[in-house]
Chain A
Amino acid sequence: MQPTLSFEQAPPISVPYRFFLTAPMFGAVAGLILFWLGPAALESRWAPGALAMTHLIVVDFMLQAMCGSLLQFVAVVAGANIWRPRLVATVVHPLITAGAVFLATAFLLERQLLFLAAAFSFAVALGVFLTVMAVALLRTPARGMSIHVLRLAVFGLLVTVVLGVILASTLGMQDTLQSVWSLLTLINVHVAWGLGGWALMLVIGVSYLVVPMFQLTPAYPVWFTRLLPAGLLLVLCLWSLQLLPGLAGAQAWQSGVGIAGVLLAGFYAVTTLWLQARRRRRQADVTLIFWRGAMLALLALAVSWLVFEALPRLGNHERAPLWLGVLALPGVFLSVIIGMLYKIMPFLNWLHLQQQGGTAMPPPNMKQMIPEAAMRGQMRLHFAALLLLLAAVLWPAVARPAGLIFTASCLWLEWNLVGAARVYARFRDKIRAANAASSAAP
């Protein structure tokens, strides 16, 4: 039988919504940076513009949306008690936002003090978030692979944050602090845990539940659900061995570990696409198409990685990592996140309104919370932006239009999500007015 959702413990709707409504705005800012800097932002992965855009997307878009979703999801799926969710969100949300702005500005302006401010903000925000999340996930009575994988993802975020704070502190105190590791080694391990151990692990854990439930596919095979996260964790541990003294230069086995990692990711993408091809309902809603797009991008990433390994002249090109980065960030993760937001927000609207109005004042239909045409239009713009961003890696002259289209896609997403929040507020006010009128009646 499929796993089950529970809603006894759902936190107040303002907790996830503040994260959801902030996330797309910083995607828009990242697009504007690309528009402003043009081809210079895509010279290499070390270009200040590329680093600033990357962190605005991974922290202020992805991490915001993922933290907001996880606060909701852990309560709902694991039935776990989140300690004072409103307080946690009040501390974590502004600090993550500020931390990413400090970090992006630090990269753009090369200001050491801003790196330190970012390190401090992230250490506090994610220290609180990880503690609360770890306690909730360890104490939940719920069982199942989804929960185990969520625990692994939270551990992945912990490693990413620790390495990220070390990196930002090292950049902020270059004159006084000498890291025992080379920056490149630290960055290699930080990126692998951030994208593989946190973001992909979270997508995997969530997909075990939502792909069969929302997309009416068969369940993932049990052996697969166990093997995949264990394999990914093993790959990440082996990859992290480069932090050990004397092993930093062992490129041959590092390359093998990298290949094993992308093969696992590609295997996951193919399995998900295969399950989606066997779905019981033929209609494809936007969430399904976003997931499909994400899995195709993940497959393209795995194939590109293998091609870069096979053809070192291509793989050593300065912009090769940018190609992989565009496939991973807007391609895989933003696609999944946007697709899920279009499912989560109408559902949370409906659920919270149902709780307030009961059967006497049933909430509007979930499909009316965000107009279908608006979601489809934004989805087309998102995938157009993705293709343009990939084109901009090949031909940097396209960078400015790519940045503008990406900004437009993020703003449209914001508009759609704000629209959903306004539907909630409008109907909630209606229920309150009706309750007030009935209690005032003699």
Chain B
Amino acid sequence: MPDPRVIDGRDMEAPEPLERAVAELASLAPGEELVMLLRCEPLPLYAILDRNGFIHRSEPRADGSNEIHISKA
């Protein structure tokens, strides 16, 4: 399995992480994973993922941020 692509959006101004994630989704291969580090739960991104056939799971991290794993359904 290839190394996941990572977007560390913790110090990015909203909504830049959302914009970057959507740019990455277009080239995400089946089985490949996109990991996002964010200080919030990105509900708008979840809506975009659901509409475009991606699955996601969110894991809370010790520093209070979230790690979101995204891949093709």
Chains A and B come from one and the same complex: yes
Q: How many A-B residue pairs have CB under 8 A?
A: 59
Q: Which residues of B contact A366 (CB under 8 A)?
A: 15-16, 19
Whether the pair A362, B22 counts as a contact (CB closer than 8 A) is: yes
Q: Number of A residues whose C-beta is below 8 Å from B?
A: 26
Residues of B within 8 A of A355 (CB): 48, 51
Q: Does A224 contact B (CB under 8 A)?
A: no
Residues of chain B contacted by A351 (CB below 8 angstroms):
44
In the assembled complex, which residues on chain B have CB atoms less than 8 Å from the CB atom of A1? 39-41, 64-66
What residues of chain A lie closer than 8 Å to B62, measured between beta carbons?
none
> Is A4 at the interface (CB under 8 A from chain B)?
yes
Shortest CB–CB separation between residue B38 and chain A, in angstroms? 9
Assess whether A13 is interfacial by the CB under 8 Å rule: no
Contact across chains for A359 and B42 when beta carbons are under 8 A apart: no
Of A4, A215, A216, A359, which is within 8 A of B25 by CB?
A359
The reply to whether A281 and B13 form a contact with Cβ atoms under 8 Å apart is: yes
Please measure, in the bound complex, the distance between the C-alpha atom of A141 and the C-alpha atom of B71, giving whole angstroms. 30
Give the total of B residues in contact with A, Cβ under 8 Å: 23
Residue among B13, B22, B65, B66 with most chain A CB within 10 A = B13
Chain A min CB distance to B71 (Å): 14
Q: B22 to chain A: closest CB distance in Å?
A: 6
A-B contact pairs, 11 of them (CB 8 A): A5-B14, A6-B47, A7-B43, A8-B43, A213-B14, A216-B11, A216-B13, A281-B11, A281-B13, A359-B26, A362-B26
Known: A1-B65, A4-B43, A350-B19. 18 other contacts (CB 8 A): A1-B39, A1-B64, A4-B42, A5-B14, A5-B42, A5-B43, A5-B44, A213-B14, A216-B13, A280-B11, A350-B15, A354-B22, A358-B52, A359-B22, A359-B25, A362-B23, A366-B15, A366-B19
Q: Which residues of A pack against B, CB within 8 Å?
A: 1-8, 213-216, 280-281, 285, 347, 350-351, 354-355, 358-360, 362, 365-366
